Amino acid sequence: MKNSGDGDQTIEKTMTTFLDNLTKPRGSLGKLETYAIKMAKIQNLVPPRIEKKGIYVFAGDHGVAREGVSLYPQEVTRQMVLNFLSGGAGINALAGGTGWELTAVDAGVAGDFPGDAELKPKCRFVRAKIGPGSNNFMSGPAMTGEELKKSLKAGENFALDAAERGYDLTAIGDMGIGNTTTAAALLVAAGFSPEEMIDRGTGIDEKMLEHKREIVTKAVTLRRPAKTGEAILEQLGAFDLAMMTGFILGLKDRGIGCVLDGFPVTAAAYMAFMIDETVVNYLFAGHLSKVAGHRPILNALGLEPIVSLDMRLGEGTGAVIGGFIVELGVRSSREMASFSEAGVSTSGTEEKNY
């Protein structure tokens, strides 16, 4: 049933009552009930539904990679996208195993891809390249104002795509060598401390980590962006992160939930939050990454991670696992019988304990 339109408090109360009348002790499904209630508020529907889920993995190259901040060369971004398209990456396995439709997006990979006839991609592939990688923000702004507008608009178009494809729940993944450096720079510029935000990423040693700290802190000082999401993205961002930001903003009022992955994706979510704080109303934190800066951003967004599995792969792998758990919460609310339907007696007390 649809809510009468009296707001989030009314639908939360309606959904809570609905859950309390299912054949279980009150609150006994714990956080699964919390996720079902949030989805009910997102969809304005009791009980909520998740019939289709879509994960969008935004890939792009980062100019700052030329500063030697990653263990891997820049060409790995393109090579990993090809791995997605051939079905051989972690996200292919985990998305397939948890029922997500996978879309790989070329938001700004350095280098082109063969045509689909040659690629024969095993997942959907969308070519939305803004440019062949962002500019190295050590030498100038990461992108022009026009490129930022195009990136945000492209992200909004993917939100429209999600609605047109009938997704009830979406997730965001990332692929881009150097993206933890870019994410850290965005967040330091937003006011987080460098000590919290700058971490080893792909597993760099102490010497390279110190170099990464120097690059990020110097870049923020050089660029000195105004403290708005748009200004920070233009000066220190990248096409993929800006597209993720646009995607999150574009989901507003569409009745679609969105599950975040790790550090770079959550950095983009924080940029969206700086632009519109209400985005947190339809966001879920899929997992807690091993990257040290992830927890402080989630805390600032008021999001509790669904799982903590010591993961730091990216690609949306943590998001699809966490999102699947959200789906289980929704399925339980839709598929369990009520006490009256099942002919089960209640305890006669408000707590409904067995």
* 344: confidence class by pLDDT, cuts 50, 70, 90: confident
Residue 291 within any structural domain of the chain: yes
pLDDT tens per residue across span 151-173 = 999 999 999 999 999 999 999 99
**8 A C-beta contact, residue 196 and residue 292:** yes
* 315: confidence class by pLDDT, cuts 50, 70, 90: very high
101 a catalytic residue = no
* 1: confidence class by pLDDT, cuts 50, 70, 90: low
Residue 42 within any structural domain of the chain: no
Report the candidate in 278, 63, 50, 322 with the shortest Cα–Cα distance to residue 172.
322
Report the candidate in 89, 31, 14 with the shortest Cα–Cα distance to residue 322.
31
Residue 181 within any structural domain of the chain: yes
Residue 38 within any structural domain of the chain: no
Range of the domain at 176: 53-327
Residue 27 within any structural domain of the chain: no
Q: How many structural domains compose the chain?
A: 1
Q: Name the average pLDDT for the chain.
A: 94
Residue 323 within any structural domain of the chain: yes
Higher pLDDT: 5 or 116? It is 116
Residue 236 within any structural domain of the chain: yes
pLDDT at 271: 98
Supply 34's token pair: 């919390």
pLDDT tens per residue across span 234-272 = 999 999 999 999 999 999 999 999 999 999 999 999 999
Q: What is the CATH number of the domain that holds 225?
A: 3.40.50.10210
pLDDT tens per residue across span 132-152 = 999 999 999 999 999 999 999
Residue 351 within any structural domain of the chain: no
Assess whether pLDDT exceeds 90 at residue 54.
yes
3-state SS assignment for residue 260 = strand
Choice among 230, 234, 315, 327 that is catalytic: 315
Assess whether pLDDT exceeds 90 at residue 4.
no
Supply 234's token pair: 């233009």
Mean pLDDT of 295-307: 98
DSSP string, 107-143: EE-SS----HHHH--SSEEEE--SSSS---TTTS-SS
* 209: confidence class by pLDDT, cuts 50, 70, 90: confident
Q: What is the pTM of this model?
A: 0.94
**Distance separating alpha carbons of residues 51 and 101, to the nearest angstrom:** 12
pLDDT at 8: 82
**8 A C-beta contact, residue 61 and residue 69:** no
